[in-house]
Amino acid sequence: MARKARFDMQQFFQALGDNTRLRLLNLMGEREVCVCYFVEILGAPQPKISRHLAYLRNAGIVSARREGKWMHYRIVMPPHVGATQILRQTLDWLEEDKAMQSDRARLTKACCSPAKYDLEGAPLPAAVSEQCCEAC
């Protein structure tokens, strides 16, 4: 099971070339988010979410961390400066998009009242680096 030799540019862009995956990246941003939140916010079947997260993980764009029953996903910057800048630019671009803004707004709402979103007891999204979640 050899690790990937070099960062695969083609695979990187293919991973970005799907709207569901763009929505997932948009929801993560600088935070670490639990799978159950993705399912709830996107309103998509859980296997679909898992598969797209696996695709992103395989492309080296996100990483997963287990915490008990829950899996947390976060964006990891690729091991290449160019890819990192492209990814950042992409996230900026997503922020301007109406639909993406709506997704993030719903996530914020769900964070503040998880019970209403069938997210009782689920771990809240948390900022990955230093600052805490500005909404909650």
Partner DNA sequence: GCAATATATATGCTTTAACAAATATGATTG
Partner DNA sequence: CAATCATATTTGTTAAAGCATATATATTGC
Residue whose C-alpha is closest to residue 112's, from 99, 128, 125, 101: 125
| Alpha-helical regions (H) of the chain | 9-16, 19-28, 35-42, 46-58, 81-96, 98-112
> Is residue 46 within the footprint of DNA (CB under 7 A)?
yes
- Pick one of a second copy, DNA, none as the site partner of residue 121 (Cβ within 5 to 8 A by kind): DNA
The tokens for 14 are: 């293919």
> Is residue 52 within the footprint of DNA (CB under 7 A)?
yes
Among 4, 13, 51, 85, binds DNA (CB under 7 A): 51
For residue 119, give the amino acid letter. L
| 14 vs 101 by CB, closer to a second copy | 14
Round to whole Å and give the CA distance between 29 and 54: 17
| 50 vs 108 by CB, closer to DNA | 50
> Is residue 5 within the footprint of a second copy (CB under 8 A)?
no
Among 22, 36, 53, 107, binds a second copy (CB under 8 A): 22
Cα 98 from chain centroid? 18
* Site residues (vs DNA, CB under 7 A): 14, 17-18, 20, 34-36, 39, 44-55, 64, 66, 68-71, 121-122
